[in-house]
């Protein structure tokens, strides 16, 4: 967990998004919809 925390925010976010892509597509699309609504 400490190694994950030491990564720069942009890279950690990229890894998180990649994990979402590999993990579950429906959940990723739901998150994308929420992001679109929040950052209109």
What pLDDT, on a 0 to 100 scale, did the predictor assign at position 22? 63
- The model's pLDDT over 1-40, given as tens digits with 9 standing for 90+, comes to 555 555 567 777 777 777 766 656 676 677 788 888 888 7
Cβ-contact 22, 14 below 8 angstroms: no
Q: Break the chain into its structural domains and give their ranges.
A: 2-38
CA angle 16, 19, 25 (to 5 degrees): 115
How many Å separate Cα 19 from the centre of its chain? 7
Q: Is pTM, for the whole model, over 0.95?
A: no
What pLDDT, on a 0 to 100 scale, did the predictor assign at position 29? 78
Distances (CA, A) of 24 to 2, 5, 27, 39: 25, 23, 6, 22
Cβ-contact 31, 20 below 8 angstroms: yes
């Amino acid at each position: 967990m400490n190694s994950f925390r030491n990564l720069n925010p942009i890279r950690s976010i990229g890894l998180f998004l990649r994990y979402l892509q590999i993990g579950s597509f429906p959940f990723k699309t739901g998150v994308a919809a929420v992001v679109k609504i929040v950052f209109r």
